Structure 1
């Protein structure tokens, strides 16, 4: 993939991430906490996918995306261990709240993680800007 195509795909993933955060807020405002958590997860997932593009990495399974992000970006110090833990937690929450009957996230959990998602997207943008500057 050439640089223009990479940059276009990164921008698209970041747009999807931002859209997912906005959707999470709308769902929270409309008392749909399970759907809000799903969108929070996808906001972070799309942001991670944008990061993976810098290594030409793409996976078909969410667990593979999570594993690669932790191995190549968290363990190597590009993102803090705390961000790795938050991404892992939102992955687990999404699994739990999407697939386990009668499990519903609290409003406090949603509020905490929607903020994490917004902050994480900011961290991803900073990382990507550094990558672009290093390449220039």
Structure 2
């Protein structure tokens, strides 16, 4: 993970991925492409929060596990945030490796992921001030 330990760099990647998702959605991008970018927006935002919390995860699975154990269980993130991260992972797996499109409308996830990225950015800001 190229930005190991740098929450600001991870938040920038999260925001870029979210912007990519919006562009793909508005420009008739594929559902798989939008879902991929939405997952990576949430993934990088979660990783930024973990970095700010002193954890440097080493894999996608570790990010999801540590997010639940360190942020959700300590009330630094909501259970809904944890569920969203897990669902996005599953949707991305299906989009990238499965047969057919994920069974969701990515438009419904755009605002959810935007909120997730904002909440994680606020968490990082609170930890790095």
**Fold-level similarity (TM above 0.5):** yes
1:115 aligns with 2:82: no
**Structure 1 partner of 2:39:** 41
Return structure 1 stretches of 4+ with deviation > 4 angstroms.
Answer: none
1:77 aligns with 2:60: no
CA contact under 8 A between 2:53 and 2:127: conserved in structure 1? no
CA contact under 8 A between 2:52 and 2:128: conserved in structure 1? no
CA distance in 2, matches of 1:41, 1:26: 15
1:27 aligns with 2:27: no
**Structure 1 partner of 2:13:** 16
CA distance in 2, matches of 1:95, 1:27: 18
Within the candidate set 80, 84, 87, 1:86 is matched to 84
Give RMSD over aligned pairs: 1.8
Gaps of 5+ in 2: none
How big is the shift at 1:59? 2.6
CA distance in 1, matches of 2:90, 2:102: 12
Point out the structure with max Rg over C-alpha. 1
TM-score, with length taken from structure 2: 0.87
How big is the shift at 1:87? 0.9
Q: Deviations over 1:100-119 (max 9, x none)?
A: 12x2136x620121211111
CA distance in 2, matches of 1:34, 1:117: 16
Higher helix share: 1
TM-score, with length taken from structure 1: 0.83
CA distance in 1, matches of 2:125, 2:56: 20
How big is the shift at 1:98? 1.0
CA distance in 1, matches of 2:59, 2:18: 22
